[in-house]
């Protein structure tokens, strides 16, 4: 079983991207050999209104051995048209699926 830490975010090079760092911990008895990380990224307006959530996926930093921890920083982006000037993105949740 994999557990995923709370995401730590930093601004990306473009307003529709951010750097998201997460730690994956394999608490199971066998290695996670492949899988995906899913990012729930919110589009936030200039007044703080949440205009929607976009989910994207990227590969896990596999393999993750049983009992091991892996930390990875991802560049998470949504389509630029979803984030007009004055708006920003905020990735609030990361989940993982694995094999």
Query: Domain limits of the chain?
Result: 2-98
Q: Which residue(s) pair with 21 in the sheet?
A: 8, 73
Report pLDDT digits (tens) over 36-61.
Answer: 999 999 999 999 999 999 999 999 99
Residue 3: pLDDT over 90: yes
* Span 2-98 CATH architecture: Sandwich (2.60)
Pairing assessment for the beta strands 2-4 and 50-59 based on DSSP bridges: unpaired
- pLDDT the model gives residue 99: 85
- pLDDT the model gives residue 1: 86
Residues 59 and 44: their CA atoms lie apart, in Å, by 26
- pLDDT the model gives residue 71: 97
């Amino acid at each position: 079983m994999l557990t995923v830490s709370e995401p730590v975010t930093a601004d990306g090079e473009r307003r529709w991207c951010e750097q998201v760092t997460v730690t994956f911990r394999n608490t199971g008895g066998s290695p996670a050999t492949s899988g995906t990380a899913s990012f729930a990224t919110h589009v936030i307006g200039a007044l703080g209104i949440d205009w929607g959530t976009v989910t994207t996926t990227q590969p896990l930093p596999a393999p993750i051995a049983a009992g091991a921890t892996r930390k990875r920083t991802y560049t998470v982006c949504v389509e630029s048209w979803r984030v007009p000037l004055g708006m920003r993105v905020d990735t609030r949740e990361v989940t993982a699926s694995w094999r």
